[in-house]
Chain A
Amino acid sequence: MEWKQAMKRIGIFIGLLLLLGCSEAPEQRLEVPFSLHFQGELIDANNCQVDSQGLDLNATPKPVVNAVTLYVHNVELQNHQGQWVRARLQGATEQAWHDEQIALLDLTPCQAEPVGGQALPLVLPKGQYQGLRFTLGVPEALNHQDPLQAKPPLDLPAFQWHWTVGYKFAFFDLAWRENSVKYHLGSSGCTGNIGETISCQYKNRPQVSLTHFQPGDKVALELRQFFTELPHARCFGKPQDKGCETLFNLIGLQQHEQRLFHVVD
């Protein structure tokens, strides 16, 4: 009798342990939308009416945005104890714009078929958060792998940087008045062999930290600053490219604070 009772208790105990072990810690979802701005004004589908010269028909002349895409990974939010908590990207969507780690954001307005998402669909342990940070780019471990075997969102040839065997972490193609901006950000100064290790002198993966972020806020990307006195700013990852200075400066590389992204509610 005694013995049976004990067995029962042990059984219940084991059962409880199992239950605890298998049921996941409670999680919550958080969607973080991204949007494009020009001098603080939203660029959206209303900017799609351009005339034959590619000029915006709106009252305030906004830029023509041919492409803005970003790879984002290492997304973290800060809990109220001040710790940064890694978020997971919610299970792959039908369009497969992200896996658990990396998201491809396509912020180009006026596109019939965007190639990436416009928001980060995050999953976090339940809790209270503020502050958001993320890293731009493709993690080093994946950046130089065979793109022909790559899974979404790394399988798009347009964002593979074949000449330097990596990815275009950020891609900007803009025009405003007589000026144009073409920026490709990625790791450069690389050596090694395809299929083996490739390592790069300039990794160029800026971390964007938005400490004022509150759940429900949006992340705004301000484009005006890209247009400097250079009429045709260009940075395609070559040492002689004139536009790289501005891009690196604004995006938070080479000891600069990033000035492109900020929080709006």
Chain B
Amino acid sequence: MWRWRNGFVAICGISLILSLLALWVGHQKQAASAKIELGRYLFYETGLSEGHSLACANCHQQMFAFSDGRKTAINVHGDKGRRNASALFNLAQNTSFTWANPLQTDLAFQALIPLFGDDPIEMAAGSVEQIQQRLASSSIDYTSLFVSAFGSSEINLARITDALAAFQSQLLAYDSRYDRYQAGQHDALTEFEKAGLALFESERFGCRQCHEGSNFNQFMGSRHNQATKNFHNTGLYYTETGYPSSDLGLYEVTFDAADRGKFKTPSLRNVGVSAPYMHDGSMRYLAQVVEHYARGGSVNLNGIKGDGKLNPNKSHLIKGFDMSEQEQNQLVAFLMTLTDETLLTDPRLAKPD
């Protein structure tokens, strides 16, 4: 009798603890999804900018894999910036954020740059108080969105950037025709595209040296995935001063002369929809990008005089190679298979209505 009773109490106790744990886990999950939802509203919120003129989503549009289709981004004042808006997806696979800044290793923190940056000005968000006022006067009920996500209605930058990062972490792109082919669906790629894949992986073309890993943005030689190994000068320019001073890339952050003209290797996923290409949007077509690599550098690109092939800072991995027209087309055809249609159409990533 005694024993039975003790056992019963113990079971009751354990099940109580378990159900509390389940409740707590459920609660955490709910808070996490509430944070993502808040982040989604904020990503599409023009109230984060001066004069309600720009949301993150203006420069990061879903149909372009969260880039903007422009050569370089346009800010709250209608002025052109110097860089091409990055496409946003699989962000966890980035060793650093933006085109050339190894200091930016924190996704939440990165959002402060478009919000408050003044070189270039992007959203000109103003003071925290101004953001609070704009959100408070919005037709969207931010009070309850913040309560669900964080337990109270307080609006501060830590919460805003945390929620934006939570939403951006949902931008995943691993479901392209290429992925289906890798998973064993042999007819997911045409023979022509398969030939392009083989060229891409070939030593002769050497693309994988830098565009390695499941996100096509890792340096092959770096075992530890060191951020700095992912920056290269790919021979876009060679001016009298070395590189166009409008954008010197990694050098601007490190002040190390060897870093002039080095930029981060971008992912190649979704390049079919994220034109134009390169840090300054200087290439309109993938065929042009492939030609650039085949030649081992570009001449007079973007109207800037000089032969990038001769740039002394150029990576030794950009050597140039012989390529037939058919091979060029095959490689481009392969790059086009890296598009994840779901990313471009998933309503959960679209502007909330």
Chain A contacts to B: CB under 8 angstroms? 146-149, 156-158, 160, 162-165, 184, 188-195, 198, 201-202, 236, 238-240
Chain B contacts to A: CB under 8 angstroms? 98, 101-106, 109, 112-113, 115-119, 125, 127-128, 156-158, 161, 245, 248, 251-255
A163 touches B255 (CB 8 A): no
Which residues of chain B are near A165, meaning CB under 8 Å?
Answer: 103-104, 109
B158 touches A149 (CB 8 A): yes
A interface, over-half SS: mixed
Q: Which of B104, B105, B161 contacts A148 (CB 8 A)?
A: B161
Pairs of residues from A and B, 7 with the lowest C-beta to C-beta distance, nearest first: A189-B255, A148-B158, A162-B112, A240-B245, A157-B116, A236-B119, A194-B106
Which residues of chain B are near A146, meaning CB under 8 Å?
Answer: 109
Q: List 5 A-B contacts (CB under 8 A).
A: A163-B98, A163-B113, A191-B103, A238-B252, A239-B251
Q: Which of A157, A162, A194, A201 contacts B128 (CB 8 A)?
A: A157
A193 touches B252 (CB 8 A): no
A163/B158 contact (C-beta < 8 A), A157-B127, A189-B255, A192-B103 known: no
A193 touches B105 (CB 8 A): yes
Which residues of chain B are near A191, meaning CB under 8 Å?
Answer: 102-103, 254
Which residues of chain A are near B103, meaning CB under 8 Å?
Answer: 163-165, 190-194, 198
A162 touches B253 (CB 8 A): no
When chains A and B are docked, how far (Å) is the Cα of A158 from the Cα of B121? 12
A162 touches B255 (CB 8 A): no
Which residues of chain B are near A156, meaning CB under 8 Å?
Answer: 127
When chains A and B are docked, how far (Å) is the Cα of A190 from the Cα of B101? 10
Shortest distance from the beta carbon of A260 to any chain B beta carbon, whole Å: 22
A157/B255 contact (C-beta < 8 A), A148-B158, A149-B158, A163-B113 known: no
B106 touches A163 (CB 8 A): no
Which residues of chain A are near B251, meaning CB under 8 Å?
Answer: 239
A147/B105 contact (C-beta < 8 A), A189-B255, A240-B245, A240-B252 known: no
When chains A and B are docked, how far (Å) is the Cα of A193 from the Cα of B158? 18
Shortest distance from the beta carbon of B24 to any chain A beta carbon, whole Å: 26
Shortest distance from the beta carbon of A70 to any chain B beta carbon, whole Å: 17
